[in-house]
Amino acid sequence: MKRAFSIRIHDSSVMPKRSDRYKKALIVYGDDEGHRHKDVAQVMGGWLREEGFDVTLSDTLDSFLETNRLKSMHLIVLIWTRGTIQPQQLANLLSAVRDGVGFTGIHSTIGAFRGEIDFHHMIGGQFLAHPGGADTTYTVHMSGNHPQITQGLSDFTVTTEKYYMMLDPAICVLAWTCFGEVEMPVAWTKSYGHGRIMYCSLGHTLNMVTLPQVEILMKRGMNWASR
């Protein structure tokens, strides 16, 4: 197999611990172009509340202008499609994550803000295409690289968009699929400053997010990112 990525294992010992008694999460969604980002955000918000998070849902990137509130979060989840982000919104987001706020990107978030290189450096890649459209059937293979997130999860088959992406070689691959001889990540983690990043390309439809294997992968990934 020709690999389109390298694997790095995180050293979490270099990341500072948060002392807050209760974890707080901000889920920002929008510009969905036919996706059901609001529904996905509500489902993910429910998951986090079950884990004891104080969750805020927002449909505007202006949430990133509230600097102090942003940096008080343990986790920021972004569910966004294309669109643009203003310089100060982006600067505040990147600063918060560098300082230790966890970040999770879902599905089309990897294709948001196309010209913002710093954003894609943070998240770990950029969407290029989904050959075959929205109804490609393929196998998602679990890597075993990050047992804290993937333990007990086995390979599974989905019928949904299949993402081909440009990738940061610093990512730690959680799950992958194949494009011919190329192994392409489906989900990964990485570090950005003191922040932890988790991304999953699955999520084009609500039933994909609530698929048991995807639900477990995302729940564990968000908890990991939030420290």
pLDDT tens figures, 64-103:
999 999 999 999 999 999 899 999 999 999 999 999 999 9
Contact assessment for residue 136 and residue 161, using Cβ atoms and an 8 Å cutoff:
yes
pLDDT digit string (tens) for 19-45? 445 899 999 999 767 778 899 999 999
pLDDT value at residue 192:
98
Residues in the chain predicted with pLDDT less than 70, given as ranges, are: 1-21, 32
pLDDT value at residue 31:
79
Q: What is the pTM of this model?
A: 0.90
pLDDT value at residue 5:
47
Contacts for 17 with CB less than 8 Å, ≥ 6 apart: 227
Treating both helix axes as pointing N-terminal to C-terminal, what angle do 212-225 and 37-50 enclose, rounded to 10 degrees?
A: 70
pLDDT value at residue 12:
37
Contact assessment for residue 198 and residue 192, using Cβ atoms and an 8 Å cutoff:
no
